[in-house]
Structure 1
Amino acid sequence: MSRTMRRLGTAAAGAAVLAAMGVTAYATTPVATAPSRPEAGATGARPLAGMRILISNDDSMQAAKASNSDGLGLYELRRAMCAAGADVVVMAPWQVQSGKGTAVTNGGVLTAQHRTTLPAGYENDCAGAPARGAVYGVCVADGSCAKDSPSATPADTVKLALRAGLRAKAGWTEAPDLVLTGINSGPNISANVNDSGTVGAAVAAIDQGVPALAFSSAGDESNAYFPRANYRANAEFGAAFVGGLRQRGLLTADFALKVDYPDVSTGHPAGPPRWTSVGHGQAVWHAYEQVGEDSFAIGLGLCDEVPGEPCTETRADADSTALFRDGRISVTPVTADRTYGVKAPDPATLRKVRTYVEHEAPRR
């Protein structure tokens, strides 16, 4: 990584346990009316056939900004998963919630509002699936979500979906097979992984015992625009990648996988996946400029190409190095257990996933 920083602008501001919380756990077996699912490991043109997938993000489900920074990647991910045969439901924040990490809302009412008019070009992507790719935006409101309604956090949406929302809205009496978060507008790497709502939502899923992957895509050279081409390439890689994990029986809730995809909008293809660690340097940083006696404007900066602290990366296997220096797809295992020196509960699975990433995963 690098030293000099460029100012990008300012921004305005278990079953018994569940029962004790008043939450109904998913049934351990499907009810008679539940659609049958083919055996895991389906191959061919529809490698995800029979899978139920929940998708969330931290960019919202609006997809209305010209910069493509408010949820367009979610629709590309939905498109690719349905094309691969999955049954998909989306429950995502009502408003952009970037930087919310694992934050949750501890009181009030959450409303999951069905979006009936989808962004142009994505209306029929999931038309043949049982849930038809239903999209819900989740706000904090006792009633309908309005344009300016406060939003649920990314972790809120996943917890709501897994504990009550998918049963109520989609009739899923079992937990989904997989949770996917993203595709985020911009990578989630290095020190800002702890801030990431995309990663936070994936962690919320594995906390509930559901396998999860968090997808993020780099922007273009301006870092202010997020080309559809990047989202589409990431999503199509993601569908093939998940299919490979499924075929090998490597979808696990022991850890989430963080997938960061480079900029391919100029026509240069992504390098093959690399198994990485969360970097120690900084990619995006926060600065605070005093603008009044008691007030400080929040600035977001990006490291440039001059070496030095705090941008210099010291880890040889850093996610940021694979992504930015080498143009590779970065795949990083992430867990909610922040205990220093913790041992993997199932190191054999971790080794198998790493082998898949390094030698067998899609190259695109």
Structure 2
Amino acid sequence: MTSVRKPTILVTNDDGISSAGIRVLWQALKRFADVVVVAPDHNWSAAGHAKTIHKPLRAEQVTLDPDIEMWTSTGAPSDCVALALNGLIERPIDLVVSGVNQGPNLGQDITYSGTLAAAFEALISGVPAVAVSSMNFKDDEDLMRPAAEFAARLVEYVWTNQLLNGVVLNVNYPNNGGPRGVQVTRLGRRSYRDKMVKRIDPRGRPYYWLGGDLLSGDNAEPGTDIRAIRDGYVSITPIHLDMTNYTFLEKMQSWPLETLLA
């Protein structure tokens, strides 16, 4: 049997370098990998796939674990990955693991998620990635550790068997006293009631809060990530960056588009 070399894994997140989720993640991964950390210096939840190009970024080394090269940056999670892959980390990165996020990233949440944005940034650079989220919302190592341990075992398995290529694995871990099992899923569809709150600041100028309540009408069909989590299973959804709607593309072939030219 051919031995597999030790991978170099970049760990990042969107809750910030001081969060419990990232600590338990790098602790779990360093048992079998050469781990480096580049993570934001503050919380970037719901930042989406930000790209900082109009102002400089800062990054400085920190020592939160004596065994690991570790940096914190003023940039978004996607900036952290871009910095690492473009020279901040001087050795090649084999795989990026983002998390463990406080709260799930299900359905269309992935378009808002800083956790997923970091994973997508890796994929753009040709590096496979795993994004890990927990149904737990508390910044507590003991509550986050089960998701981190599962993610580490998954990463070790896919690395050993060389199974990742051009894909992000989006992992969501339930929070109900232990999962019933693991399901490979597709994205479901979440339902929100978005709202805007208008207020007036002390100088008489208006400002706005955007937010929304999660409704009970999620698409929880069998096979979706939402259904798996609701039923107490770990959900793993393979995601790639090709967002082409191929069914609609075929329909458009019959449109008389040439007649629209001037």
Per the normalisation by structure 1, the TM-score is 0.62
- Sort the Cα spacing of 1:180 and 1:218 in 2 relative to 1 into closer, same or farther, 3 A: same
Secondary structure of the residue that 2:27 maps to in structure 1? helix
Shift of 1:286: 4.2
Distance in 2 separating the partners of 1:206 and 1:329: 23
Shift of 1:239: 1.4
Give the alignment of 1:23-172 within 5 angstroms. Answer: 39-40=3-4, 50-62=6-18, 71-83=19-31, 85-116=32-63, 118=64, 123=65, 127=66, 132-139=67-74, 152-167=75-90, 172=91
Question: What is the aligned residue count?
Answer: 242
Shift of 1:297: 2.1
Structure 2: 5+ residue stretches without partners: 248-262
Partner amino acid, structure 2, of 1:317: G
Q: Does 1:340 find its partner at 2:249?
A: no
Question: In the alignment, which residue of structure 2 is the partner of 1:297?
Answer: 209
Shift of 1:89: 0.6
Distance in 1 separating the partners of 2:246 and 2:180: 31
Q: Which moved more, 1:311-320 or 1:193-202?
A: 311-320
Question: In the alignment, which residue of structure 2 is the partner of 1:147?
Answer: none
- Sort the Cα spacing of 1:285 and 1:337 in 2 relative to 1 into closer, same or farther, 3 A: farther
Q: Contact (CA 8 Å) 2:20, 2:139: kept in 1 or not?
A: no
Question: In the alignment, which residue of structure 2 is the partner of 1:191?
Answer: 108
Runs of 4+ in structure 1 off by over 6 angstroms are none
- Measured against aligned partners, the alpha-carbon deviations of 1:125-148 in whole angstroms (never above 9, x if no partner) come to xx5xxxx21221101xxxxxxxxx
- Measured against aligned partners, the alpha-carbon deviations of 1:160-189 in whole angstroms (never above 9, x if no partner) come to 10011111xxxx1xx211100011111001
Secondary structure of the residue that 2:182 maps to in structure 1? strand
Q: Contact (CA 8 Å) 2:220, 2:226: kept in 1 or not?
A: no
- Sort the Cα spacing of 1:247 and 1:93 in 2 relative to 1 into closer, same or farther, 3 A: same
Q: Contact (CA 8 Å) 2:181, 2:234: kept in 1 or not?
A: yes
Shift of 1:300: 4.4
Q: Contact (CA 8 Å) 1:115, 1:136: kept in 2 or not?
A: yes
Shift of 1:94: 1.4
Partner amino acid, structure 2, of 1:275: V
Question: In the alignment, which residue of structure 2 is the partner of 1:229?
Answer: 142
Shift of 1:247: 2.4
Secondary structure of the residue that 1:193 maps to in structure 2? helix
Distance in 1 separating the partners of 2:34 and 2:52: 28
Q: Does 1:322 find its partner at 2:224?
A: no
- Measured against aligned partners, the alpha-carbon deviations of 1:84-142 in whole angstroms (never above 9, x if no partner) come to x21111001111111111111013322211112x2xxxx4xxx5xxxx21221101xxx
Question: In the alignment, which residue of structure 1 is the partner of 2:173?
Answer: 261
Shift of 1:226: 4.4
- Sort the Cα spacing of 1:315 and 1:339 in 2 relative to 1 into closer, same or farther, 3 A: farther
Give the alignment of 1:277-316 within 5 angstroms. Answer: 277-282=186-191, 286-292=194-200, 294-303=206-215, 307=216, 311-313=217-219, 315-316=221-222
More strand by share: 2
